[in-house]
Structure 1
Amino acid sequence: MEPDSLPTELILTHPRQSLGKIQLDWKPQPGNYLDFEGKTYAVLERRHRYQLKSGRYRLNNIALYVQSAQRPAEKSLVAGRWVVGDATCRYNAHSEIIRCAVKPDGPCECCHFYESIN
């Protein structure tokens, strides 16, 4: 095992089932996307699992709770993080997972609900 990689279990949220275990050399955050066995998944939650060894707790593995998703074509950079959709719209959720309350599936282009924040 490489020093920066941890065993990571992918768990599908609905229906709840384990998709398998993989080694990752990065630590996906909720809102990130990852590809596994030809499918794309959105990370919803990350849980760390620790093990007590020699009187110290050490990170043993990570569980990622995911759902099947498509990578969004529209993204905006807001305060150093990527959000889905056009962040200049008043209705944008400023989230990595959901675009907005009015038209969550998008696209933002030509949306008749668009209102500029400015």
Structure 2
Amino acid sequence: MTSPDKHLEQRARELWHEAAQRIDPATAGRLRAARRQALDAVQAPARRAVRWLIPTGAFAVIALATMLVWQPLPPPHASTAMQPASSADELDNELPPDADKTDPNLYQNLDFYGWLASAGSHAAAR
């Protein structure tokens, strides 16, 4: 700071202190009340947050416990004879399934499946 700025700041402080000492008691009381009210308003949100912290945490714990307790049970393990003919990895495989892993009824109408495949390719060509 330069010297004139410092001098101006000191003079402003002196005038403020002098004016603060000459305030009448009624105005000083109103200023103190306004100051208390402003400080209470600043501290009120913090109190509200603390007041809601415990119930919110308790609700989160209850929700977590409920999710852990009521998880769906895994399906019972079925024997291999009861499983469907093709699993998810076999669906992605482009090779036909092994004869021992598939339902024998699928081989009953092979002519129909051949016709269906050729009809699908003819319709796509049109």
TM-score under structure 2 length normalisation: 0.18
- Of structures 1 and 2, the one scoring higher in RCO (CA 8 A, sep 6+) is 1
TM-score of the superposition, structure 1-length normalised? 0.19
Greater share of residues in strand = 1
Bigger Cα Rg: 2
Higher helix share: 2
